[in-house]
Amino acid sequence: MTSHFLDRIRMHDQNRQNQHQENDCLFCLIVARKQSAFIVAETNEYMAFLDTLPIRTGHTLVIPKSHVARLSDLSPTQGAALAKGLTDVARAMEKAFQITGLQVASNQVYAQTVDHVHFHIVPAPLDKSEPSVLSKWASSSQLSLLGRRDELCDDEGEQLSSIMRKYLPNAKL
């Protein structure tokens, strides 16, 4: 009897979590394909997609596919999968955009706009003396962490995500 009761509690909690995912969380809507995104990579455990308000061209988010609000709440398996996603996407970004400098950041509660664990991988400012695939999209507003952030346009999102996917052959879509 006790195990049946515990199963009902677990099912209730899971239903509440699923309800939250579908109704409230932008990233869960993206995972469920109810919100559009320029998806770069996806496995059973993580998803990576371009930020729609990028700090710089190529700004990518890596998230666990299941809804987890805080980094400290990730299971060891989820944490390992997310770490693999971060390294895979960072490696692909370096190759795709011919860069080496990256900024990787995450917020928890403080300055977090979506209550779902996520990491930002942002290409470093371009050295104008070295050619890069990103050069054609670089603008002064995107080369600074401060100031206005322009919305990612559809053409740019399609091109950038397509370029990155070439370097992520094992990440299904």
**Which burial class, exposed, middle or buried, applies to 82 when counting CB atoms under 10 A from its CB (0-12, 13-18, 19+)?**
buried
> Which are the contacts of 145, defined by CB distance < 8 A and separation ≥ 6?
55
- Give the separation between CA 38 and CA 138, rounded to whole angstroms: 19
Instruction: Enter the tokens of residue 145.
Output: 């962490």
- Give the separation between CA 135 and CA 143, rounded to whole angstroms: 11
Active-site residue, from 59, 67, 118, 120 = 118
Closest by CA to 57, choosing from 28, 86, 99, is 99
The per-residue DSSP string of 2-64 comes to HHHHHHHHHHHHHHHHHHHHHHH-HHHHHHTTSS---EEEE-SSEEEEE-SS-SSTT-EEEEE
Residue 4 falls in the annotated catalytic set: no
Q: Which residues are catalytic?
A: 118
